[in-house]
Chain A
Amino acid sequence: MEIVMSILAGILFTTGIYNLLQKQMLRIIIGTALISHGAHLFILTMGELKRGKPPVLSDDIVNYSDPLPQALILTSIVISFGVTSLLLVLAYRASKENGTDNMEKLRGNEND
């Protein structure tokens, strides 16, 4: 199971990086979202996908899945959610002010 998930995370990383290297701003943001999905899936995989019960305490269950990676993912999801929403607004404003969403044209001159 871990191998399948690792390959899936790898595919997410690859497509994310491919999108990150595009010119259009929105595709870059989609790329960052895919990369963060890959990273989160990867944390879950690296915490070992043992087939235990959900980590909710009750008397008759002895085998729990590892709760720490889930807490880490939850934190990381919220953070990347915040950054992505900021990035979307930033891209909206930047493309409006500069009149283009093409990253190739968003180059700066040294003295402006």
Chain B
Amino acid sequence: MISNLAVLPIVIPLIAGVIAILINRKLTIVRRFAQILTAVNTIVVGYILFYVSQNGAVILEAGDWMAPFGIVLVADLLSVVLVFTTNIIALACVFYAPKSLSDQQEEFYFYTFYFLLISGVSGAFITGDLFNLFVFFEVLLMASYGLIVLGGDKVQLRESIKYVLINLFSSMLFVTTVAFLYSVVGTVNMAQIAQRVGEVEQTGVLTAIGILLFFVFGTKAALFPLYYWLPKPYIAPNPVVSALFGALLTKVGIYSLLRVFSIIFVHKSDVTHELFIWIAALTLIFGAIGAMSTQNIKLIVAYNIIPAVGFMLLGIGVYNSTGYAGTVYYLLSDMIIKAALFLLVGAIAYLAGTSDLRKIRGLIHHYPFLGWIFFIAALVLSGIPPFSGFIGKLLLLQGAIEADKIIVALIGLACSLLILLSVMRIFVRGFWGEKDESIIPDKKAARGFALPVVFLLFFSILLGVGAEWFYPSIASIGDYLMNPETYIQSVLKE
């Protein structure tokens, strides 16, 4: 009975999305409905998080079929904490949405797509089956196709074609890889794959499959040679959609890498994980340079996703429990702060009437509060000590040094500096300077935009200041990822 908890974070948004189809024309009702349902879902997930942290992983065998034969949903601490973070971001976005979307866009099934996206992301975090992971990827991608093109102006249509094509191609590659893996190990259940790969000690063909899987998830997560598709499609849609994308989609790719390369392909870590470290270094460098290269404030934040996934990949690559703990800490912190930053630059672009940094100046005279929360968000992003970005990066660099990867750790530090510079540029150029008299301040809109961001920043600061409370559980996730036997045994019950 209690194991049914694992399915709730997937089913609640799914049902809510279906109901939202029926009431899409009544805007006030559908808005209220979406806000309440997201809050309910957050509370439910909060309870699951509490339950899992007290009693250990909740494992649901769908339809009472035993583990390798049916689909299993594995709600362990890692997945539940990510689902909880997803819901916090969703909660901020659903309150931001009415202010930033036009009525027509909201009527045109925004809330349905939004709920399906949340359902798909939660499903991808919770599933314990590789093909089921593919299906949840498609659920969230289909919803994201709907969201990215919502509104249908020239830029969106142009960029969404590229986005759909690259994702369709990587999905097909995913299916092909699952077929390869099925022919070698004869199962699609992650725990049983891990067991069988462990029995044969990962032969050459399995390493090749592992690298292929890395390419699939690397495309989803925008890693070094595969990130070219990301920045422009991410700034084409409405800011609230960009925030959901930037916070959730690439992180699902990183989570899949984390799972697959901590449970299944661990026996040839000198080949695979060594590759990751260098790809992480290149991702960091290219992403940070990209963020410095542009004057478009939305594009600066979109490019900042890339060095962040580089940091997380570094944690996966160093392959020790400190590195894993750092990845998880940084993942949580980065999901929240990317959503906050996308919402903030969306607000700035709306209030200033342009997203070109050369045309914005002196906003702090009109919107002091917005300016200072942007300043805090920039500090969190670059990892200044009291905030949450710091602890994640500290653990990651500590992990890298433990694994004797000093050069990559130094590259990481240098890139942090560039990241700080790229977002501070928005603050210095856009907020400082002489007062722009032509702007008529819209205080009410600014307050509406600021509230969801403050909500996100609260969690971000809590995660940094309260590191003493969270660190033990996250360190235990790091140890858990280092010992895949725990996962395999709890799923297969041997």
Complex Cα gap A47–B180 (Å)? 9
Asked whether, in the complex, the Cβ of B183 is within 8 Å of the Cβ of A46, the reply is yes
Distance of B244 from chain A, by nearest CB (Å): 19
Indicate whether A61 reaches chain B with its CB closer than 8 angstroms: no
Complex Cα gap A106–B134 (Å)? 30
Q: Considering the complex, which residues of chain A in the window 23-63 have a beta carbon less than 8 Å from any beta carbon of chain B?
A: 25, 28, 32, 35-36, 38-40, 42-43, 45-48
Asked whether, in the complex, the Cβ of A108 is within 8 Å of the Cβ of B145, the reply is no
**Known contacts being A90-B160, A106-B161, is A75 close to B179, with CB within 8 Å?**
no
Set of chain B residues within 8 Å of A68, measured between Cβ atoms: 182, 188
Task: Return 26 A-B CB contacts under 8 Å, by A number.
Answer: A25-B161, A32-B169, A35-B172, A36-B168, A38-B172, A43-B179, A43-B182, A46-B179, A72-B178, A76-B134, A82-B142, A83-B145, A86-B145, A87-B161, A87-B164, A90-B145, A93-B157, A94-B158, A98-B158, A106-B158, A110-B296, A110-B299, A111-B295, A111-B296, A111-B355, A111-B356
Number of interface residues of A (CB under 8 A): 38
Set of chain B residues within 8 Å of A110, measured between Cβ atoms: 294-296, 299
On B, residues with C-beta under 8 Å from A are 131, 134-135, 138, 142, 145, 149, 152-155, 157-161, 164-165, 168-169, 171-173, 175-176, 178-180, 182-183, 188, 232, 294-296, 299, 355-356
Per DSSP, chain A at the interface is helix
On A, residues with C-beta under 8 Å from B are 20, 25, 28, 32, 35-36, 38-40, 42-43, 45-48, 68-69, 72, 75-76, 79-80, 82-83, 86-87, 90-91, 93-94, 97-98, 103, 106, 108, 110-112
Distance of A71 from chain B, by nearest CB (Å): 9
* Besides the known contacts A32-B169, A43-B179, A80-B168, 20 further A-B residue pairs in the complex with CB atoms under 8 A apart: A32-B165, A36-B168, A36-B172, A38-B172, A43-B182, A47-B179, A47-B183, A69-B179, A76-B175, A82-B142, A83-B142, A86-B142, A87-B164, A87-B165, A90-B149, A90-B164, A94-B161, A98-B158, A108-B155, A111-B356
B158 contacts which of A20, A39, A80, A108 (Cβ < 8 Å)?
Answer: A108
Set of chain B residues within 8 Å of A106, measured between Cβ atoms: 158, 161
Asked whether, in the complex, the Cβ of B164 is within 8 Å of the Cβ of A108, the reply is no
Per DSSP, chain B at the interface is helix
List the A residue with the shortest CB-CB distance to B167: A83
A97 contacts which of B135, B145, B154, B165 (Cβ < 8 Å)?
Answer: B154
Asked whether, in the complex, the Cβ of A108 is within 8 Å of the Cβ of B169, the reply is no
List the B residue with the shortest CB-CB distance to A17: B169
Set of chain B residues within 8 Å of A83, measured between Cβ atoms: 138, 142, 145, 164, 168, 171
Asked whether, in the complex, the Cβ of B135 is within 8 Å of the Cβ of A75, the reply is yes
Interface contact tally, CB-CB below 8 A: 106
**Known contacts being A86-B145, A108-B158, A110-B296, is A39 close to B179, with CB within 8 Å?**
yes
Set of chain A residues within 8 Å of B161, measured between Cβ atoms: 25, 87, 90-91, 94, 103, 106
**Known contacts being A90-B157, A111-B295, is A79 close to B135, with CB within 8 Å?**
yes
Set of chain B residues within 8 Å of A46, measured between Cβ atoms: 179-180, 182-183
Asked whether, in the complex, the Cβ of B169 is within 8 Å of the Cβ of A20, the reply is yes
**Known contacts being A87-B164, A94-B161, is A42 close to B176, with CB within 8 Å?**
yes
Set of chain B residues within 8 Å of A25, measured between Cβ atoms: 161
Complex Cα gap A76–B136 (Å)? 12
Complex Cα gap A75–B145 (Å)? 19
Set of chain A residues within 8 Å of B171, measured between Cβ atoms: 79-80, 83
Distance of B62 from chain A, by nearest CB (Å): 14
Set of chain A residues within 8 Å of B154, measured between Cβ atoms: 97-98
Complex Cα gap A21–B153 (Å)? 25
B232 contacts which of A36, A47, A90, A108 (Cβ < 8 Å)?
Answer: A108
Asked whether, in the complex, the Cβ of B168 is within 8 Å of the Cβ of A87, the reply is yes
Nearest first, the 9 closest Cβ-Cβ pairs linking A and B are: A46-B183, A94-B157, A43-B179, A46-B179, A39-B172, A39-B175, A79-B138, A39-B176, A106-B158
